[in-house]
């Protein structure tokens, strides 16, 4: 498993470099960002302890989401930018994608690690996916404290996204209150 994570880590470094390469167009950068998200999600689900030790969850937020949000916000706030409304629309779409990613990641983590959060509706109740995992043999069982940490991490970032895009995500304010109240 170590060699798999070593390979995945090297692959992540290449994708992060692609995302900052000024020679690539927006479509290529978007593709690299999606691949990085998928890669980090796989690492978190496969061996949560190792992934947390390597701070994969922080790298995921910073490189796949926060840096792009910060860049788009700066462009959207620039009143001299002739493409300001397009940038604002792109920011809204990106925030929706970030929210969707963390919602889906939280669902998968809770399903795979059998975590019961009071704020979470089980996927099977929504008719989305089964709550049973079929390939659990490749998954290293983490400590319950690590499961709690990663779930809180997802909830915090869902809460982080709200202030950036509050008109579209007002309903997600519950996430922030749940995390800060400690009721999960």
Asked if residue 128 is part of any domain, the answer here is: no
Asked if residue 130 is part of any domain, the answer here is: no
Q: Dihedral of CA 133/139/140/143: which sign?
A: negative
What CATH number does the domain containing 52 carry? 1.25.40.10
How many domains does the structure of the chain reveal?
1
- Write the DSSP string, 101-150: HHHHHHHHHHHHTT---TTPPPHHHHTSS-S--S-GGGPBPPPHHHHHHH
Asked if residue 125 is part of any domain, the answer here is: no
Asked if residue 93 is part of any domain, the answer here is: yes
**Domain limits at 20?**
1-118+136-181
Q: Is 161 exposed, middle or buried (0-12, 13-18, 19+ CB in 10 A)?
A: buried
Sequential pLDDT tens for the chain (184 residues): 566 778 888 999 999 998 888 888 889 999 999 999 999 999 999 999 999 999 999 999 999 999 999 999 999 999 999 999 999 999 999 999 999 999 999 999 999 999 988 777 666 666 665 545 445 557 889 999 999 999 999 999 999 887 766 544 444 444 444 454 454 4
How far is the C-alpha of 163 from the C-alpha of 167, rounded, in Å?
A: 9
* pTM, entire model: 0.80
């Amino acid at each position: 498993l170590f060699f798999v994570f070593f390979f995945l880590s090297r692959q992540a470094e290449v994708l992060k470099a692609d995302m900052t390469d000024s020679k690539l167009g927006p479509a290529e950068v978007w593709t690299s960002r999606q691949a990085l998200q998928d890669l980090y999600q796989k690492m978190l689900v496969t061996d949560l302890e190792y992934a947390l030790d390597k701070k994969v969850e922080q790298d995921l937020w910073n490189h796949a989401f926060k840096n792009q949000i910060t860049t788009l916000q700066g462009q959207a706030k620039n009143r001299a930018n002739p493409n300001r409304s397009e940038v604002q629309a792109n920011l809204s779409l990106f925030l929706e994608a970030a929210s969707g990613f963390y919602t889906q990641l939280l669902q998968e983590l809770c399903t795979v690690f059998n975590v019961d959060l009071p704020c979470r509706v089980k996927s099977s109740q929504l008719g989305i996916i089964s709550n049973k995992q079929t390939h659990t043999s490749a998954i290293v069982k983490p400590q319950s404290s690590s499961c709690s940490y990663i779930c809180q991490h997802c909830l915090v970032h869902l809460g982080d996204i709200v202030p950036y895009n509050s008109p579209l995500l007002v309903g997600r304010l519950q996430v922030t209150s749940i995390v800060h109240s400690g009721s999960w």
